Amino acid sequence: MRFARFDLLGRVLEVREGDFGDHLVLIDGRVVSHKSMGFWVGGSSHFFELTSEEGEKLHIEVQVRGWRFRFTPAFLLADGAEMAALELVSRRHMQRRCPYCVYSLVGLTVENDEVKCPECGRHSSLAVLGLKKGAKIVPRHARDLGA
């Protein structure tokens, strides 16, 4: 399975590509869109609405486009404007990388349940990185994640 996580309006957006080619979009662990043949038809688009903390409704679109050797590209749009380019990679890979630029975060210190990427300067919450609350450092091995 390949996946990418993104902090969207304070929620955890997750895009998954399953081993049988299905594409899923989850918000806080709940499936909001599912295309079972996504991979086999070269990609898939997912549309749903999300309400911001200010009560503003946003039209979210997630486009999963094809497949590459190391990752599957996906694009996140809000009200038609591109918000982020995501790279779906294997779980083993991603839990130690910045979801914005895929820079390795191994060994970095966690502050206020967040890790600051030294490459792009963006903060990622432990939830987005798939790490347990209270973690002090980003572990090297998946087996150290306790997840």
Binding residue (CB under 5 A) for Zn ion from 98, 110, 128, 129: 98
Question: What sign does the dihedral 121-127-142-18 (CA atoms) show?
Answer: negative
Nearest to 107 by CA among 66, 137, 62: 137
Pick the closer one to Zn ion by CB: 75 or 103: 103
Smallest gap from residue 99 Cβ to Zn ion (A): 8
Candidates 49-57, 67-75, 89-97, 120-128; binding stretch for Zn ion (CB under 5 A): 120-128
Least distance in angstroms from the C-beta of 116 to Zn ion:
9
Stretch that binds Zn ion, among 12-20, 63-71, 73-81, 117-125 (CB under 5 A): 117-125
Nearest-approach distance from CB 12 to Zn ion, in angstroms: 17
Instruction: Write out the two tokens for 2.
Output: 């390949």
**Helix ranges restricted to H, 16-144:** 91-94, 126-129
CB atoms closer than 10 angstroms to residue 19: 8
Q: For the residues of 24-41, what is the DSSP string, one character each? A: EEEETTEEEEEETTTTTT
* Residue from the set 37, 119, 146, 147 that interacts with Zn ion by CB under 5 A: 119
Minimum distance, C-beta of residue 48 to Zn ion, in the bound complex (Å): 26
